[in-house]
Amino acid sequence: MKIKNIIITFVSALAILFSTSVVSLAKVVGDKIILGAAISLTGKYSSNGVHTQNGYNMAVDRINSMGGVKVGGKTYMFDIIYYDDESNPKRAAQLAERLISQDGVEFMLGPYSSGLTKAIAPVTEKYGVPMVEANGASRSLFTKGYKYLFAVLAPANLYLDVAIRTAVELNGGKGVRIAQAFEQDAFSQDVRLGILDAAKETGSKIIIDDKLPKELNDMAATLAKVKATKPDVLVVSGHTKGALTAIRQIAEMKVDVPMLAMTHCDAAKLSKQHGANSQYALCASQWHKTLTYKDDFFTDGMTYDADFTKEFGYAPPYQAAESSAALLVFKDAFERAGSFDQKKVRDALAATNMQTFYGNIKFAEGGQNVDKPMVLFQVMCDDAGKCENKVVAPLKWASAELIHPIPKWSDR
C-alpha cells in the first residue's frame, strides 16, 4: 500500500507549495502605488492587448517622470502588475481574483475588450476595488449598477451611429439599405444594437444581418450576398481580425458598396497593411491625433502620437490613447481624494471632470464617459499610395471632406 504514502507525500508537498507561494503585496508599498491589470498578451486579442499595455506603460513612465502622484503631501510613483488573461473571460475573472486576494492590489486597470471586462467587473465590484477601464465599451457593462467601474470611453452602441446618420443625410434624409456583419462577441454585438437603433430612428432597412464566428478570417459568404443585393452601407465589426479580413476579401472579391463603415481600422494598421485597398473605409474611433484636446502630461494628440511612435515604433491606435488616459484619471482621482481609501478614491473617480489629450472625461451614474463623442475617420491615399486616416465627422474636428460614394473598383 505504498501508493497511499506517495499520495500523502504529494498532498503535503502541495500544501507546502501553496503556503510558500503566498506573496502579499500591499497596494501602496513605500512610495509606490501598485495597480493590477489582466491583459491579453496571447490569444485572439493579443495585438490590442499589447496596445493597451503600451498605453498604460507610456502613461506610467510619463506621470512618474513628471513628479508622480501627490497624495497627502507625499509623492508616489505608479507601478503595474500584469497578468496574461489569454483573451479568455474565465481566466480574466480568475486573475482579477488573484490580483486582489493574493497580490493585495486595491486598484485595478481594465483588460482589453468588453467580454473580458464583463468577466472582471463582478469580481472588482465584490471587493469594492475601483477599476478604471479603457477598453470595455459594451453598453450592458453600464446597466448592471456597478459602483466601482469607470470607463473612459464612449459606449459601443455609439460607435457607428454617426456613420448611419451621415449616410441617411447624404441620401437626402431618406432611409438607407444597410448590410451588416458582426462578430459574435460582446463588443461587436453592442455595435450592432447601436446600428439597429439608428436604423429604426432614420427609417433605414437592414437587408443583411450576419453573425460571424470569433477569430474571424473568412466572410466571403456575407460579401457574396452584398454583391448580389447592393446595399447603400456595409457595416463590419469584429475587432482587429474582422477589419483585416473585411478589407482583404472586399478587395479580392471587388465588392462595390457606396459606404463601408468599420471599427478597429487603426488598431489593425489597415492603411499600412492593405494600402490603397483600404482606401475610403470609414472607421469609428474613440480618438484621433488631430483632435484639439490638451493636458499637462502629453500636451496634445499630435505630441502623444509622436512620443508614442518614438517609444514603441508604431503610431498609437485609439486603444493605446484611451489606456494612457485611464492612468491620468487615476492620478487625478488619487490627488483629489487625498487618500488611498478605496471608498474615497471611488467617490473621487465618480466626481471626475477633466480634460486629457484623449478627450473630456466625466462619468455618468453607470460609469460610462458621457463627455466624449466618437469620431469617424476615413482612410485616404495619395497618388503615391501613401495612406492616412483623416477625420471626416463630426464637422467640428473634420480635417477632410467625406468621399462618398466610394468609387467602383473598376474605376480605381
Partner 1 sequence: MNKNIILYAAILIFGIAAPFVFPAFKVQLSILCILIILAITWNVQGGEMGYNTFGNILFYGLGMYLCASVQVGMFFPLAEWTEGGGEKTFVHTPAQFFQGFAVGLAVAAVVPAIVAGLIGYSILGLRGHYFAICTLGLGVAAGEISGGIEIIGAGQGFTTPPFPKVGSLEARGEFFYFCSFAVLVFTFLAVKAIYSTRFKLVLNAIRDNEDKAEAMGIQTMKYKIIGWMISAFFCGLAGGIMGGLVGYIDSTDVAFDGREMGVFMVLMAILGGKGTLWGPVIGATVFHIFKEGFWTFFLGWQYVALGVLIVVIVIYFPEGIMGWLREKYPERFGEVVDEADRKAQVELK
**Which of 31, 70, 200, 213 touches partner 1 (CB under 8 A)?**
213
Residue 407 beta carbon to partner 1: minimum distance, rounded to whole angstroms: 34
Q: State the Cα–Cα distance between residues 159 and 153, nearest whole angstrom.
A: 10
Angle at 336 between CA 332 and CA 341, to 5 degrees: 105
Comparison of 19 and 410: residue with beta carbon closer to partner 1: 19
69: left (phi over 0), alpha (psi -120 to 50) or beta: beta
Of 102 and 303, CB closest to partner 1: 102
246/321 with CB nearer partner 1: 246
- If the CB atoms of residues 120 and 257 are measured against partner 1, the closer one turns out to be 120
SS3 234: strand
- Closer to partner 1 by CB, 190 or 266: give it: 190
* C-alpha span between 362 and 58 (Å, rounded): 22
Angle between helices 318-337 and 301-312 (to 10 degrees): 110
Output 213 or 405, the one with its CB closest to partner 1.
213
Residue from the set 16, 19, 73, 410 that interacts with partner 1 by CB under 8 A:
19
Where in 30-59 is the site for partner 1 (CB under 8 A)? 41-42
211 interacts with partner 1 by CB under 8 A = yes
CB 343 within 8 A of CB 129: no
Q: Which of residues 261-280 bind partner 1 (CB under 8 A)?
A: none
> Residues 132-161: x/- map of binding to partner 1 (CB under 8 A)?
------xxx--xxx-----------x----
Task: Tell me, residue by residue from 171 to 210, as one string, x for binding to partner 1 by CB under 8 A and - for no binding.
Answer: -----------xxxxx-xxx--x-----------------
Q: Which is nearer to partner 1, 184 or 273 (CB)?
A: 184
- Taking residues 81 to 120 in sequence order and writing x for each that binds partner 1 by CB under 8 A, - otherwise, the string is -xxx--xxxx--xx--xx--xx------------x--xx-
In the complex, the smallest distance separating the C-beta of residue 240 from partner 1, rounded to whole angstroms, is 17
Give 403's DSSP letter. P
Q: Which is nearer to partner 1, 108 or 387 (CB)?
A: 108
Q: What is the DSSP string of 341-372?
A: -HHHHHHHHHT-EEEETTEEEEB-TTS-B-S-
- Count of residues touching partner 1 (by CB under 8 A): 59
Angle in degrees, CA 362, 368, 374, rounded to 5? 85
C-beta separation of 262 from 236 below 8 A: yes
Question: Strand runs (DSSP E) across 102-230, as ranges?
Answer: 108-109, 131-133, 149-151, 177-183, 205-212
Which three three-digit cell numbers place residue 185?
462577441
Residues 6+ apart with CB under 8 A from 61: none
Task: Return residues touching partner 1 (CB under 8 A).
Answer: 1-4, 6-8, 10-11, 14-15, 17-19, 21-22, 24, 41-42, 82-84, 87-90, 93-94, 97-98, 101-102, 115, 118-119, 122-123, 125-127, 138-140, 143-145, 157, 182-186, 188-190, 193, 211, 213-214
